[in-house]
Amino acid sequence: MKPSVEQIGSLLALKRHERPEDGYWQDFLCDFHQNQRELAVRKSGLMSFASRISGWFSDLGPSKWAYGAGLAYASIAAFALLTPKEAAVQKMAPSQINYQVVPAPAPPAEQLDQLDLSPSTQGNAGEQVF
Partner 1 sequence: MVILESPRRRWSARLLGLCLGFSFSAGFADPVGVSPRLLVNFSAANGKIAESTAVPVEGDTILVVVVAAGADFSNPKLLQGSRPVPAKVIGHDPVSRLQFLQVQSGISPKSFEWLGDTGDSASASLIAMGPGGPVKCRTTGWVKQVGGKILPLALFRVTFVGAVPPPGTPLMDDVGRVAAVVFQDAGVASTGYAIPAEAVRRVQRDICTSGQLVRGWLGLSLRAETQSPQVVRVLPESPASAAGIQPGDVLVSVGSRQISDYADAANAFFYLVPGHPVKVKLLRGVDQLEYSLTPTRPVAK
Binding mask 67-106 for partner 1 (x = CB under 8 A): ---------------------------------------x
Task: Decide if 97 contacts 114 (C-beta within 8 A).
Answer: no
State in angstroms the smallest separation of the CB of 114 from partner 1: 5
123 binds partner 1, rule: CB under 8 A: yes
State in angstroms the smallest separation of the CB of 101 from partner 1: 17
Nearer to partner 1, 101 or 106 (CB): 106
Dist. CA 121–CA 101, nearest whole Å: 35
Please report, as a single letter, which amino acid is at residue 105. Answer: P
Dist. CA 21–CA 16, nearest whole Å: 15
**60 CB neighbour count, 10 Å cutoff:** 13
Q: Judged by CB under 8 A, which stretch of 23-31, 60-68, 88-96, 121-129 contacts partner 1?
A: 121-129
Nearer to partner 1, 20 or 126 (CB): 126
54 binds partner 1, rule: CB under 8 A: no
Report the first-to-last Cα separation within the chain, whole angstroms.
95
Sign of CA dihedral 79, 81, 82, 87: positive
State in angstroms the smallest separation of the CB of 113 from partner 1: 7
